[in-house]
Chains A and B, each alone.
Chain A
Amino acid sequence: MPKIAIPTALRRYAGEQAFVTVEGTTIKDALASMTAQYPDLLKHLFDASGKLRSFVNVYVNDEDIRYQQQDDTLISEDDDIAIIPSIAGGAASEAELRAASAPDLSKEEIARYSRHLIMPEVGMEGQRKLKAASILLIGTGGLGSPLGLYLAAAGVGRLGLVDFDVVDHSNLQRQIIHGTKDVGRPKIESAKDRLNDINPYVQIDTHEFALRAENALDIVKDYDIVIDGTDNFQTRYLANDASVLLGKPNVYGSIFRFDGQASVFHPAAGGPCYRCLYPEPPPPGLVPSCAEGGVLGILPGIIGVIQATEAVKLIIGQGEPLIGRLLLFDALKMKFKELKLRKNPDCPLCGENATIKELIDYDQFCGITPPAPEVKTASADDWEITPTQLKARLERGDKLTIIDVREVHEWQICNLEHHGSTLIPLGEFPSRVSELNPDEEIVLQCKLGGRSAKAYNVLKEAGFTNILNLKGGIIAWADEVDATMAKY
């Protein structure tokens, strides 16, 4: 009959034997036969619901039954069956150490957090964990706004803000941490003021520069959790890599037009990372940014609050985190969908034979050439024309055909119609090339210069030679030559 090897520690419950002889043809039968003979083993191997305890592994011939047919794994007389404990250990995390030494909540804090304190899932212990915790928010824009507001209100002890941008009118439709009076101020100052007002018991640390490979590890290491609220692939990969290398969870969210997604990347807890989901960035320009494609102002509120919820759950250790799950949200259909995310065993960052051991050049990785130092009226390459140059030529009376390749709804916001521009959206452009006269000098224009560069290539291939691209698009036009023009 088959025999099961019993660990030393449990032999006292099995008649002091190293092996228990059992009956049955499956693991389920064999375990039942064993506990029928030695009922004292039950509570040491099974939890209250009758499931094997998490640290109890059953091996048949040196293989875990989890990777065979589990309970139904077939056994025969010659098989070596063994009960083997999982053995692991580890020093306290920084958060745990701080939680243990965290000062108690003051009377004022207790009053402030009372709706948390009366829930057993948070309680005094959870609120002290929140107070002991620190979160790095990368970006104080669309996602960073609700994240900062709610995490500060919830009582997260220390929030780090990374941003180097200035508040602009076009931010206010969604970046609710900033107000109209803040336009022109550094975002980080405006955000800090607002957060201090919401909760003066939260420490706000500001990092007013771009997160880069040179500084990321040094900044991230001082925080328990990283939340990426940026809108570009370089920072997304950088935040992911720095978090994984330092073993920190990275709460991910992204938004575009009416769609959003969120997940928690945490390989140190057994989950996948951003690179498991997207091993490589898309070619530059293929995926439009929110500045190019637009975004529903409310959407970052929804996704940012989901991220904030996940961060709070991680800190208080409650519920099921979004680790290994990708949540998709469609605001038009008002539907959530969930996808399972698997860890990629060959992931160069968190896989078994990881090759990435330090941060890399993320501009290069994402195919971005860093912009040349900006000069207000920089001279354009020969295929481009700057707004200042274009204005001068129009005023001189040069005959130029301006083609706007944006969408109709963008045209309605602002355009160069009074300079004779014609709208041909990029999607229709290749089929409407015949409307253009190769003998005329054509200036192509979009919002920022990216889409018109594509139209430029279409014309070039069609044999046009006398074409120019408006550098920086209509936004640069508004900045350089027409301050009255509406920007978006």
Chain B
Amino acid sequence: MSIQLTQQHLDEIRQHGERTFPEECGGLLLGVLEGETRVIHETLPLENIRKDSRHNRVEISPLDYAKAEREATKKGLGVWGYYHSHPNHPAIPSGFDLDHAPFIEWSYLIVSVREGTAQEIRAWTVREDRSQFDEEEIEMNHQGRGEA
């Protein structure tokens, strides 16, 4: 499996991470499945609803998720992944991330934000037995937003 995004998507994720620094941010990735590739069409930045530990925890409102599904369906898209930031930590999934990854069918993007500046973005998937994350290849889509 791989994930395909445009430079603009990566920029949007980085900008979101920088805006909320030193707190974590999170959002959803909307797109379509093309064979073995999750082709992302839109990023959807969402609010971190955690009240505490916002510097190293992020949570998405279930109602925001439901709304994202509805909006995506209208556009012929689906929710195929989730991104979040790791302020002052590497873009490597934590034990907490593994415990809280809902789907083995998703891509999980993590952006590392160091002292307010976004650095690397890495993509991960969860193994079928949920024992660990494996890194996934990020394919750059140079065709704009993927519309045919």
Contact = CB atoms under 8 A, between A and B. Distances in A.
B78 A8 contact: yes
A89 B78 contact: no
A384 B58 CA distance: 59
Contacts of A18: 73
Interface in A56-87: 56-57, 59, 62, 64, 82, 84-87
A87 B57 contact: no
A92 B89 contact: yes
Given A91-B24, A267-B52, A7 B69 contact: yes
Contacts of B92: 92
Contacts of A188: none
Given A8-B79, A9-B80, A87-B26, A92 B95 contact: yes
Interface in B73-104: 73, 78-80, 82, 84, 86-89, 92, 94-97, 100-103
A12 interface: yes
B25 to A, nearest CB: 10
A90 B102 CA distance: 14
Contacts of A84: 62, 65-66
Interface string B1-28: 0000000000000000000000010101
A59 B66 contact: yes
Interface string A1-25: 0000101111110000010000000
A7 B53 CA distance: 28
B135 interface: no
Contact of B69 (A8, A56, A90): A8
B-side interface size class = 35 or more
A114 B96 CA distance: 29
A-side interface size class = 35 or more
A9 B106 contact: yes
B134 interface: no
A437 interface: no
A66 B58 CA distance: 21
Interface centre among A18, A44, A85 (most CB of B within 10 A): A85
B117 interface: no
A162 B62 CA distance: 43
Contact of B59 (A7, A87, A267): A87
B44 to A, nearest CB: 12
A356 to B, nearest CB: 13
Given A8-B79, A57-B62, A96-B94, A89 B100 contact: yes
A10 B97 CA distance: 20
A88 interface: yes
Contacts of B73: 18
A352 B62 contact: no
Interface centre among A56, A84, A96 (most CB of B within 10 A): A84
A59 B62 contact: yes
Given A88-B58, A89-B26, A92-B95, 10 more contacts: A7-B79, A9-B106, A64-B62, A84-B66, A89-B24, A89-B58, A90-B24, A90-B58, A91-B88, A92-B92
Interface of A: 5, 7-12, 18, 44, 55-57, 59, 62, 64, 82, 84-93, 96-97, 244, 247, 267-268, 350, 352, 354
Which 5 pairs from chain A and chain B are nearest by CB?
A8-B78, A85-B102, A91-B89, A92-B94, A9-B103
26 contacts: A8-B79, A9-B105, A10-B103, A12-B105, A55-B100, A59-B66, A82-B66, A87-B26, A87-B28, A87-B59, A88-B96, A89-B24, A89-B57, A89-B58, A89-B96, A89-B100, A90-B24, A90-B53, A90-B58, A90-B84, A90-B97, A92-B56, A92-B95, A92-B96, A268-B57, A352-B51
